[in-house]
Structure 1
Amino acid sequence: MNKTVFFPLLFFMVSCIGLAQSVDDPFSQKRMRKDLEVFKNIRLKANSGLYKYRTKEQIDSIYTWADGAIDRANTYGDFYNIICQLTDFEGSLHNDTRLPERYNQSMKKEQNGYFPYPVKWIEGKWIINFAKGEIPLGAEIVSINTIKMSDIIKNLYKYYTTDGVNTTGKRIGITYNFSKYYRLHYGLSPVFEVAYRPHNSHEVQNATLKGIAYTDYYKNVRQRHSEPFDEVDYKDWEEGETYSYKDIDGDTGILRVNSFSLGNKQSSSHGRYLTFLDSVFTHIKTKGIKNLIVDVRYNGGGTDPNDLVTYSYLTQRNFKENKQAWISFKKLPYLKYAFTKIPRFLRPLGAGKYNKMFKNNFPEEIDGKFYQDENNEDHQIRKPRPHAFTGNIYLLIGPRVASAGSLFAAMVAGNDNTTVIGEETMGGYYGHNGHTPMGYILPKSGMAVFFSVVNLEQDVPQKSNQRYDRGIIPDYDVPQSYNDFLQNRDTQMDFTIDLIRKNKNR
């Protein structure tokens, strides 16, 4: 799944083209060390989020670990895993490490060695999420090839980045790509010895499963039991299904916003969204709706100012997009490694307009950091709409919420009249690295690495239940129950409606 970012990429993307190669192919330690040096230097110079959640000592320590890991590494995949670990350790959902396309194509052609069934996290356990297999639907996986499932999952976290030390968001990637991630970390396996525990049983049973093809695993993913319920975690939303409103009864309504990818303020799609919001909140005020469920559980982000405009209908305070924002460079560094199709000798010319943009947007230098000033649009004071909602807000959040989605959710969660329900988001409450993504190609491996360069502190109040290095923490932690998993029923929505009814009767 590609996480949505605020602004378009700085550079045109291009796939690495070449002969098919396997991640199991040998890759020299000399080439690994060259790329590790380039990777580290780029992060030190260009990534303002390097020390957002980690101390300098922790970053130095993991690079010492990486250097030692290279001593034990032999294959291209070994080095990919090292870079993924470094990327994930920083703690930014906009971080990404991508294999060259020839390696992806090689994996897609592999005919054996993949774990056959999709899995899902339910009630603290990783269970089988497939109804037509040799292991019963809903059975807890205890171990695979004698490795505890809890250890396997920890080793797979590095392939799906989230803000801070959040892990709920990583489940989005693992639910869909478990077998691919397993293959990348543990290699191909012709058979899988699985220890499992059927639901409501203490007895551990065993099954021997044959490895299957890459493509066959993804056929099973598309037929997973939970697909009717959780496909919304993986959708690219069309405008017509992005937002909606309906009354539940005379006192309560539901506003759903599944994405903020609705264009910028000059676009027609943004104009249509503004019209929608105005009509909805006019209706809410006219009808006297007292309770509003705001459901953003599947909102992975989008473009400004859709998130901010939506919040202006849900607040009674003046606000701005962020309290501060800064980058760590004056000019684009390491242009020769930039992820672009522009020839190297022309890159300084092409970079000129971006350097000018950065200079205009981040003019204040303080201790080697370059900050936005009060003239920047991100610091514009915004006011609540005249007919902004003043009743009880019930905010539904989940692990999919990221980027502009989590910025919006954090602002709403900061309201005194908001009750937050669901699961911790992958995007942070107090801030994140976002806005402007940059990409680089590591010269020896051809791996593409991406990160967003703007370190943001969001305009939200301090709250005792919100941690700096985590996603947004709900007031009521309500994951899907096992029985609701079996029936593909919405535990969180049922809980919210029941809570509103209880509050009415008090």
Structure 2
Amino acid sequence: MRNLIILLYLLLFISCKKTDNLTSKISTFPNLELKSYSHSELETDFNLLVNSLKEAHTGLYWYSTEKQFDSIVAIQRNLLKDSLSGMQFYNIVAPIIAYTKEDHCDISLSEDINNTLAHKGLFMPLLIINLEKKVIILNQPYKGFELVSINNIEINKIYQTIFNTFASDGFIQTSKYRYLDFKGFSREYAKVIDQQVENQIKIKNPTTGKTETHKLHSISFSKLKELMIQVLKENNIRKEIEKPGNLEFQDKNTAILTFRTFGNSNFEDYQMNFKKFVDSSFLEIQKRQTKHLIIDIRDNGGGSEGNEDYLFSYLTNKPYNKYKYVELSNFTFSFLKFTDYASNEDKTDLEDELRNENEQSQDGNIYRKTGIYIPEPIKETPFQGDIYILTSGWTYSGGAEFSSLMNEYTNAIFIGEETGGGYFGNTSGTSLELTLPNTKLKIDIPILKFVLDVKKGESGRGIIPNYKIEPTFKEFINGYDTELEYAKKLINK
């Protein structure tokens, strides 16, 4: 059996050189006193998870082959044994979810385990920010120090292990780094790596360049949240705008249009309407004869389908087709009784919706019917000035689709980080929330594959900005908006 595992690792390495190391050592988390499960119970949940992904996840083999995926499954299956907790099982199956390479495919712990973590969990008292390929501590007494290792494990190895437990689109890394910013690192370290009362950290002094070793006592999750509040209070870190959309004018020639989301419900929460906001914004931009437009979508994780191309329709004069096709995995699913569509009424509604909007083609695949979705027509008088788009690892889903359209059909300049969403689309839309019957882990399985009709990008990557810009630690902590200020400098030139 050991030889088989080694062979599978070798095959995987040869077939996909970008695959990270798999989780091989599963922590026990004795402080949590979690319920354990038999091998049979774990295998039941494992098989249901894998079979459900294969049955429903339309984009499962977008960035990897079926053979590669099956290799991951075989390696992780071999880690199953009797009397594992739900937390240990999570760390066995999470790499399978990560290997879907689709950020809309998520896995989460059971409600019981989350409650236990909230009351008994031990968390590193560290808030961090990922900048300049360094993990930098935000809280005192080591504010500004680079985190080098924890308990004699190098930080890059810790990151590799954590990254292996949640997905990103294709091979994009920026979204994973952003997910670990602030308290995200401490949270995921406690879920994936270890929980100890006392920890040893090695840090690098930014002034002297010398490393120091210190001991840290873990804290509760409530204390970690208090630490987060304290860091935000003590520093002038750039915050998201409160409203989902915002327009301001830098001067008579430059406008800054910010979209924190494209979600209709988010706009409604602020008594706003997305399309009316866009209409009124461009009416004002046109009225002022604005020459330069900065569009900030650094915090935009998407939203309601169609809003991204409604905004786009004001920014191009080139005819376009948004989607090459939208594909569905099936009209019904064998595992619906374990999902949020378990009731007969919900099951019928889901199947009716899928059959009304999609049809089977001659090649045997299921695609969205013609006319179900029509791209927003371009406006008669679109904006004709210079466009600068600010992006980050949080720019995702509809935010990334908007970026792809802008890159394909305009001369917009991109500033910041690679987008968190893939250039050619994503698997999202309707999602099935699968609850495993024994461990109660939850898995969101997206079933619609949206393939954009674009050509310029690289498969498995997002928009690569024209100017890769990120703040220094000093700029970040003092609230200096490095990306925005860089856009202004380009305009001034």
Please state which band the TM-score falls in when normalised by the shorter chain. Answer: 0.7 to 0.9
Match of 1:140 in 2: 146
Change in Cα spacing, 1:73 to 1:82, as seen in structure 2 (3 Å) is farther
Tell me, yes or no, if structure 1 residue 286 matches structure 2 residue 277: no
CA offsets 1:325-378 (integer angstroms, 9 cap, x no match): 101112233122223563xxxx3x53222212111211133544211132221x
Contact 1:140–1:198 (CA<8 Å) still a contact in 2? Answer: yes
Q: Structure 1-normalised TM-score?
A: 0.85
Match of 2:237 in 1: 229
Distance in 2 between residues matched to 1:308 and 1:178, nearest whole Å: 34
Distance in 1 between residues matched to 2:342 and 2:445, nearest whole Å: 19
Alignment match of 1:95 (pick from 105, 116, 122): 105
Q: CA RMSD in A?
A: 2.4
Tell me, yes or no, if structure 1 residue 416 matches structure 2 residue 419: no
Distance in 1 between residues matched to 2:484 and 2:133, nearest whole Å: 20
Contact 1:23–1:77 (CA<8 Å) still a contact in 2? Answer: no
Match of 2:17 in 1: none
Distance in 1 between residues matched to 2:37 and 2:81, nearest whole Å: 12
Match of 2:480 in 1: 489
Alignment match of 1:122 (pick from 131, 156, 171): 131
Match of 1:354 in 2: 350
CA offsets 1:86-111 (integer angstroms, 9 cap, x no match): 11111111111122211111110016
| Paired residues for 1:387-426 under 5 Å | 387-426=381-420
| Paired residues for 1:31-50 under 5 Å | 31-50=41-60
Distance in 1 between residues matched to 2:342 and 2:80, nearest whole Å: 30
CA offsets 1:448-471 (integer angstroms, 9 cap, x no match): 1112110111133x22xx321122
Runs of 4+ aligned residues of structure 1 deviating over 6 Å after TM superposition are 267-271
Name the aligned partner's letter for residue 369 of structure 1: N
Q: What SS does the corresponding residue of 1:109 show, helix, strand or coil?
A: helix
Greater relative contact order (CA < 8 Å, ≥ 6 in sequence): 1
Contact 1:332–1:351 (CA<8 Å) still a contact in 2? Answer: no
Distance in 2 between residues matched to 1:25 and 1:353, nearest whole Å: 36
Tell me the CA shift for residue 22 of structure 1: 4.2
Distance in 1 between residues matched to 2:484 and 2:279, nearest whole Å: 25
Tell me the CA shift for residue 26 of structure 1: 2.8
Alignment match of 1:255 (pick from 229, 254, 257): 257
Tell me the CA shift for residue 24 of structure 1: 4.5
Match of 1:178 in 2: 185
Distance in 2 between residues matched to 1:48 and 1:35, nearest whole Å: 21
Match of 1:339 in 2: 340
Which segments of 5 or more consecutive residues in structure 2 lack a partner in the other structure?
Answer: 1-30
Match of 1:187 in 2: 194
Q: Aligned residues, how many?
A: 461
Distance in 2 between residues matched to 1:268 and 1:441, nearest whole Å: 30
Match of 2:469 in 1: 478
Match of 1:204 in 2: 211
Distance in 1 between residues matched to 2:473 and 2:462, nearest whole Å: 24
CA offsets 1:135-174 (integer angstroms, 9 cap, x no match): x211011100000001111111244432112111112321
Match of 2:361 in 1: 365
| Paired residues for 1:15-26 under 5 Å | 22=32, 24-26=34-36
Tell me whether 55-64 or 362-371 shows the greater mean CA deviation. 362-371
Between the aligned residues of both structures, percent identity stands at 25
Tell me the CA shift for residue 501 of structure 1: 1.1
Which segments of 5 or more consecutive residues in structure 1 lack a partner in the other structure?
Answer: 1-20
